[in-house]
Structure 1
């Protein structure tokens, strides 16, 4: 089962089950995915059970809602500061070579780049046996809920950015319950969007390069993530595809288990604050930037994978410079 969030023509928020590629069935008694998750947590039932119990009789035109720009990210929070967006890198079996090539200039004297060392550590210890702790992955912070673009909307790149390129990834969505325990409510396809030119200057700029917008959805996949996921990432310019490439994800194609990535994020008390929402990106091995593509203002990203239903598509928009004034009092 998959869910979407959307606004009606009056601006009120709703959550619906995706019946098929053309039809949505709104849920009754709840207006957000987060609210539905709260009911499921309180009652000790699954998200699928909670959604089935609230399916109404009404059917809506999915295509009309999408074309009118009324789709929302699959999870939102009334206070964006309590929606944390984070991720991990070098987690996929094909991810090391592009990253290593990006950083070779900074590591000419070394036999092995730091990126390749981190990747090898994941291969050797990223999938520990049950009850054991595996090696830490690379980890980064992207921002709060204010950086999440709507499906079909613009994905902004700041005026000072050196690049703005897609990263086709799977994000897991969590809500922290009242006991401080993370509860995974589903998965979404996403565009983790980063500044790869900045990162290439020096790998210590990775933290800066990740402080960018992102997109996810529009559909939230409930239940388990397939162990093997095949998708396609495309870049459009002036309505034509200028680059496309398949990508793989799921644990069969990763050097870390999901459980290991989750443990090393949520082991910090900071990320176990009751009521908070987390979207955690799991990484990728496929980038247009790695194939020499330089994006431009107005380019469109499209990312799709069959388990997640409708593709996510966003237009790159370079923002005007915003003067910074540091005040003292």
Structure 2
């Protein structure tokens, strides 16, 4: 299976093949923004890998070069042309039965997190509200879709993400406060796996505090772990015209299994979450940072003027 990634280096956009081994230099191929998305639309995911392999203008960059910045897969430059969204409560561990082979599809809960430009990369801090109730890491498969000029979604491949959220706030009022609970930053690996959505994904999460492991546990998030079928989920979602906007890149998080919260562990400011997707050789590590308290909001307009009159 091919794996591609994109990054910026010294003001230019580049792409590469495979997941670089830790400490090894990276061979980067110069690509114009949008070229790999166009290749996916023209010839499918493997066409994007062929573009990278055939592109001249390569540079070799040392690992850890401060000028190197990885990017979410196929991220458009336009900030409103990509979307972070996903499903909730999809895993079999959250149901008291197994699905029937011909069971009628019932859509799971859904959320929109924000623009794709809000995604954070491995090593970036993830900022939360200043006073979260109870944070929860969520290792997930992320399906990546690119819409063509007519708005038809094309599957590009998959990656892995951490949909950090405030499950404590969600549980206080699941029907109303879940959108607020999702207002924590989300991270994703830059690696785009060009195969079909994975059936089996396994690994471990470690929460590190003051340089030591404070909690760890296994996870699974492939199709075999999910109650719903991927095809049913995506077909239903893309029945909505708003998600078929021409040129949109869609980062679709498909749900997480039970994790540290279900063991009674509380993630704190400064903790590092390390998601080791051992089945696929990918690691996603981010430090949690509580955000500052909001400054006072200055109101303008007739309502504010009448209130002070």
TM (norm. structure 1) is 0.81
1:253 aligns with 2:252: no
Gap runs ≥5 in structure 1: 97-115
Deviation at 1:222, TM superposition (A): 0.9
Tell me if 1:39 matches 2:39. Answer: yes
Candidates 234, 237, 256, aligned match of 1:265: 237
CA RMSD of aligned residues (A): 2.4
> 3-state DSSP class of the match of 2:247?
coil
Q: Which residue of 2 aligns with 1:101?
A: none
How far apart are residue 59 of structure 1 and its match?
6.4
Aligned to 2:7: 6
Verify: 1:26 aligned to 2:28, yes or no. Answer: yes
- Listed as ranges, the matches of 1:91-240 within 5 Å are 91-96=90-95, 123-124=98-99, 134-204=105-175, 205-240=177-212
Partners of 1:160 and 1:81 in 2: CA distance = 29
C-alpha deviations, 1:43-72, integer Å up to 9, x for none?
Answer: xx122233224325746357335x776222
Out of 285, 289, 295, the residue aligned to residue 317 of structure 1 is 289
* Residue 328 in structure 1 maps to residue 301 in structure 2: yes
Q: Which runs of no fewer than 5 residues in structure 2 stay unpaired?
A: 303-309
Q: How far has the Cα of 1:274 moved from its partner?
A: 0.4
285, 296, 302: which is aligned to 2:274?
Answer: 302
Aligned residues: 295
CA distance in 2, matches of 1:60, 1:245: 37
**Distance (whole Å) between structure 1 residues aligned to residue 154 and residue 131 of structure 2:** 37
Residues 166 and 47 of structure 1: CA distance in aligned 2, closer, same or farther (over 3 Å): same
Classify the secondary structure of the residue corresponding to 2:18.
Answer: strand
Equivalent pair of 1:226/1:250 in contact (CA under 8 Å)? yes
Asked if 1 retains the 8 angstrom alpha-carbon contact of 2:270 and 2:288, the reply is yes
The answer to whether the 8 A contact 1:170-1:281 is kept is yes
Pick closer, same or farther for the CA change 1:326–1:75 going to 2, 3 Å: farther
Partner of 1:102: none
